[in-house]
Structure 1
Amino acid sequence: MSRPPSSQTTPQFHRVSERDLTEIELHSVDSINDLHRTHPEHSQKGVRPPRPAYSPSLNGNLFTCDMSAVNQRRRPVSSKWQTRLQDMLTPSSSHAYAMGCAIITLLLLTVFLIFYFLVQQGGAVQMLTEAVREKEETAKELSLLIQELQALRKNLTVMRGGS
């Protein structure tokens, strides 16, 4: 088997006594109580305190990890725009409220523009209807004038022919 690269360190175990574990537990309880006292929004059911940086094992040994080795294995730090994009996509109550308001505003604006367009089209249709009526009236008048002219021409030809 090959040896692990030098950038990766092997975990180290330290023996922790029962008294130390009890002290750690009491300190954790005190810290949680302080957190609940200073930040009542964290005292709701289902909210868990942050996990400790160590993972106790069953045999009482404390597992520690070299964070420099962990950071070397992680992906590179994302750029600012990626972080901002993630923040925009991460749901939060104020963000969700703002997005909801923006969506409702856009929907209302769209409905307003549709009604405005329909009113404009209604006005244009009314003007066209009036123009068509006027054209029909003018056509009727012209046909009556043509009939009168034809009658006058007949009368004039009859008068010229009879004289």
Structure 2
Amino acid sequence: MSRPPSSQTTPQFYRVSERDLTEIELHSVDSINDLHRTHHENSNKGVRPPRPANSPSSNGNLYTCDMTAVNQRGRPNSSKWQRRLQDMLTPSSSRAYAMGCAIITLLLLTVLLIFYFLVQQGGAIQMLTEAVREKEAAATELSLLIQQLHALRHNLTALGGGT
């Protein structure tokens, strides 16, 4: 039953009996049940019938191939956080609705903050305008007092210089 080593990479076929196929199917079902018992978070996603990794050909031989790097959907195996990130980025109606609500809420908060700061700035500008008006009024009053003081000095010098 030994074969000479082949330099070609041809698929290998093995004769599998009906009894062996039944035993393989039973082991597959047991393995799936064990997985469902140990991984509760995956058990509520629905049960799919197992896809045979090695399907028999028309003559009853079993074709073998290496599927260690590819999962059942034909994509490379990835870690749990990569799948969750991909699920988060995948659009769905409820996720899109929640994202839309979050964006609208952020925009409204931004507009409210802008109006708040504008009102604050408006109040500060009003106070500064009032202070400038008071300063101008005080400067005008001071300039009138200085003019009156000059007039009094002029009158005093005129009265004192004539006697």
TM-score by length of 2: 0.59
State the distance in 1 between where 2:162 and 2:8 align.
Answer: 136
In structure 1, give the amino acid aligned to 2:68: N
Classify 1:104/1:78 alpha carbon distance in 2 versus 1 (closer, same or farther; 3 Å).
same
Aligned residues of 2:12 and 2:64 also touching (Cα < 8 A): yes
Match of residue 150 from structure 1: 150
In structure 2, give the amino acid aligned to 1:71: T
Aligned residue for 2:67, secondary structure, equals helix
Q: How many residues align?
A: 117
Q: Which has the higher helix share?
A: 1
State the distance in 2 between where 1:2 and 1:154 align.
Answer: 127
TM-score by length of 1: 0.59
Classify 1:119/1:61 alpha carbon distance in 2 versus 1 (closer, same or farther; 3 Å).
farther
Deviation at 1:72, TM superposition (A): 3.6
Match of residue 70 from structure 1: 67
Deviation at 1:117, TM superposition (A): 0.7
Q: Say what the alpha-carbon RMSD is for the aligned residues.
A: 3.4
Match of residue 112 from structure 2: 112
Match of residue 141 from structure 1: 141
Classify 1:126/1:81 alpha carbon distance in 2 versus 1 (closer, same or farther; 3 Å).
same
Match of 1:3 among 2, 8, 17: 8
Identity among equivalent pairs (%): 68
Match of residue 40 from structure 2: none
Classify 1:113/1:71 alpha carbon distance in 2 versus 1 (closer, same or farther; 3 Å).
same
In structure 2, give the amino acid aligned to 1:100: G
